[in-house]
Amino acid sequence: MEVTDSNGTPLKDGDSVKLIKDLKVKGTSLTLKRGTVIKNIKLTEDEDEVDCRHDKMSIVLRTEFLQKA
């Protein structure tokens, strides 16, 4: 299984990614702004999603909104 970002660049565990779109986080009033860098991602079973932590909160992000930093 090959996991790629929005530009087709391969991603692996421990990479840093940058958001390309403002994203609202379900269940909170938090909005992740475009350009936010997320460090140390973890790949999941689904090739379209990655697991990460931001502000002490664990979230799952879709790879279509990410760009390798």
Of 42, 21, 16, the residue nearest 31 (C-alpha): 21
Q: Do residues 5 and 63 make contact, with C-beta atoms less than 8 angstroms apart?
A: yes
Domain 17-68 indexed as CATH 2.30.30.40: yes
Q: Write the CB contacts of 49 (distance below 8 Å, at least 6 apart in sequence).
A: 60, 61, 62, 63
Sign of CA dihedral 9, 14, 18, 22: positive
pLDDT of residue 50: 97
What pLDDT, on the 0 to 100 scale, is given for residue 1?
83
Question: With a threshold of 0.75, does the pTM exceed it?
Answer: yes
Positions of the chain with pLDDT under 50? none
Q: Domain map of the chain by residue range?
A: 17-68
pLDDT of 67 reads: 97
